[in-house]
Chain A
């Protein structure tokens, strides 16, 4: 699904956020990306969705070098990746339904598909009773459920979540990460960047450790604190 070979990212101000990072993530995996603030987690995610391009090295997503994707191909890439944000990025004044419809329409879905799919995804994230609630009336956990519902509405092959529990209390964080695990069980590859020790330790999934732009560890059934 993702193949990184010596990926380096240097920002314009000379700051080297990633230094020769190499790893492989297979279809159906659940992977945590952990590391100090500034380690380069967000930078890596941005390159996966081609918001940024590597300065050197190659990053292949779905077998294609993201640096080479042009115009419409970038749209196709993003339609196959569900993105979950720490700050949810929902449209406050719209309802949950309209938020998902908005995203589905933008990615090319027909009104028929939307009517069919939106109740399905809300059921899946446990938000069915809030379909017509406005987003600014929801709790933090509900907001993230709505965000995840939107992310899976296009049936993406992969989900990338950058600190999805960053704004949530511990109990809600556990609920959200279990929701992501359930989605993963159905076959979707899930990639989570996090500072949240509790959720990493609970799930016992693969963990990639980043430190100052370098991968310093990569463990199956890892814990937040890297085993030596």
Chain B
């Protein structure tokens, strides 16, 4: 394509966009809404994952060893834990270490642990702290290792983990459905806007055909128009998301002192831009391709 033609096509496409004022605005609006919802969803999703990872580090199974277990059974247990594919690592914590930790946590001045100085009186049991490769497997693995020999009991944060994954699962399906519907509406509106331009420019198009313009010479301005509509549709959500997310971060910072920190603004925006800008362009181009397929057969 010649450079002077590119300039010409872009100029034409902007003229067309302004000529169709209201339709263009509607198209841009729907693209903007689509991409805004997508961005919000992506941010929520990213942060849920981020928070899950933070929580995940605490999600471990505590396995208590049966006091009565023989040393053979204990060896068998170690072997089983080592060979389990889902288990990342299993750290042995003796009951003495356990008591020591408890002291640290409760503080020296706390009198709750008085009377346990004598090792014989230690109320705790030997344990393994187990972490997983996949946190979603926690409950099934917990149930499985409960049946191993020498196991006196198993504890894990069952409810929190499962609910977190359920929530994101349902949210994902709902938002995906909504997204698809909105994206279809957006492409439909864009193709409609372009069709409007094609109608308005019918005379020009006919003349161009008669004087021997190539198909692509006629089509390019319409492709650019769709592209512009899509691109303009990304500006509003990006600006909105930037300021919106910034104020959410500030609010959390000011009001929820102990809430784990969310993904920082720059990182989050980077992800959103990478996703939203190409998608906006794609919606625009697909929209104009649809209307061209239908109305610009040369």
Contact = CB atoms under 8 A, between A and B. Distances in A.
Contacts of A91: 203-204, 207
Contacts of A108: 212, 217
Contact of B212 (A77, A89, A110, A150): A77
A14 interface: no
Interface in A69-106: 71-72, 74-80, 83, 89, 91, 102-106
Contacts, number: 52
B211 interface: yes
Contacts of A154: 211-212
B210 A78 contact: yes
B211 A103 contact: yes
What size tier do the contact residues of chain A reach? Answer: 20 to 34
Contacts of B294: none
B210 A83 contact: yes
Contacts of A72: 214
A89 B213 contact: no
B298 to A, nearest CB: 8
Interface residues of B, number: 17
Nearest to A81: B212
B206 to A, nearest CB: 7
A111 B211 contact: no
A67 to B, nearest CB: 16
A103 B204 CA distance: 9
A75 B214 contact: yes
B4 A106 contact: no
B209 interface: yes
Interface string A106-147: 111011000000000000000000000000000000000000
Nearest to B210: A83
A111 B212 contact: no
A4 interface: no
Contacts of B70: none
Given A102-B204, A103-B207, A105-B8, A71 B215 contact: yes
Contacts of B207: 89, 91, 102-103, 106
A103 B206 CA distance: 11
A49 interface: yes
A111 B4 contact: yes
Contact of A110 (B4, B206, B218): B4
B178 interface: no
A94 B288 CA distance: 27
Contacts of A80: 212
Interface in A5-24: none
A157 to B, nearest CB: 13
B181 interface: no
A188 to B, nearest CB: 16
A79 B211 CA distance: 6
A76 B215 CA distance: 12
A71 B215 CA distance: 7
Nearest to B5: A105
A93 to B, nearest CB: 10
Contacts of A107: 211-213
Interface in B185-208: 203-204, 206-208
A79 B212 contact: yes
Interface string B101-128: 0000000000000000000000000000
Nearest to B298: A74
B213 to A, nearest CB: 4
A89 B210 contact: yes
A46 to B, nearest CB: 11
A79 B218 CA distance: 15
A75 B212 contact: yes
Contacts of B210: 49, 78, 83, 89
B128 to A, nearest CB: 73
A141 B218 CA distance: 30
Contacts of A111: 4
Interface string B287-298: 000000000001
A80 B211 CA distance: 9
Nearest to A49: B210
Interface of A: 49, 71-72, 74-80, 83, 89, 91, 102-108, 110-111, 150, 154
Interface of B: 4, 8, 203-204, 206-215, 217-218, 298
Given A79-B212, A104-B211, A106-B217, 4 more contacts: A83-B211, A102-B204, A105-B8, A154-B212
19 contacts: A49-B210, A71-B215, A74-B212, A74-B298, A76-B212, A78-B209, A78-B212, A89-B203, A89-B207, A89-B210, A91-B203, A91-B204, A91-B207, A103-B207, A106-B207, A106-B211, A106-B218, A107-B212, A108-B212
